[in-house]
Amino acid sequence: MSVIEAIKHAAAYSQVNVNIVLINSEELNENNIFQFFENINAILVPGGFGDRGIEGKILAIKYARENNIPFLGLCLGLQLSVIEFARNVCNLKEANSTEFDINTKYPVIDLIEYQKNIINRGGTMRLGNWPCKLSSDSKVFKFYNKEEFLERHRHRYEVNNAYKDILSEYGLKFSGTSPDHNLVEIIEIPKLKYFVACQFHPEFKSRPNNPHPLFIGLVKSCIE
């Protein structure tokens, strides 16, 4: 509900109507994906846990990237965007998250170090407000118009820093990180109209009279 409302906030701010189509990613495959997205102007992959529908979401992300459709990934959506890019652009075909495959050959998404020793996980996720430092030359800077801000988190897995160099080499930009650069917060593909994903939950900070910058960016990219 919060994601749907955040889209509506950005649409109202941009003075357009929005028609939101909910798609079950378990139904997506290579043969039918065009039918699902034929009349879609933007694709959003929200947060989530577990491996249900994961490959369908990755397929949707690939479709957005290859067809230059405005895209926004939220939390899990960022992690799957990194997996898709690693597999299909960096040629790391078996790239995955250790959440879905503990023995993956290329763990581009993994538990951060302090999480690996936690047995009774309970409420031990990266929760609440965490600072993000934004590159001033990033695509999303013009929507935030500031270099540092707080965003709300609720997750346990992170981008594996061991793969940042190869991902960057092939064109993925880490436009937002923690102030110490240890945690990835925002990624984008600069050459595309609007391909952005964030590790946090921007929908939690969107309000009718103050829509979130990343949702504004998505809607404005559709208008353009």
Q: Which residues form the catalytic set?
A: 75, 201, 203
Q: Is 185 exposed, middle or buried (0-12, 13-18, 19+ CB in 10 A)?
A: buried
What tokens does 72 get?
């926004």
Burial 87-125 (b: 16+ CB within 10 A, else e): bbbbebeebbbbbbeeebebbbbbbeeeeeeeeeeeeee
With beta carbons less than 8 A apart as the criterion, state whether 71 and 151 touch.
Answer: no
User: 167, 155, 159, 113: which is closest to 130 by C-alpha?
Assistant: 155
Report CA-CA distances (Å) from 185 to 8, 41, 113, 176, 222: 24, 25, 17, 5, 23
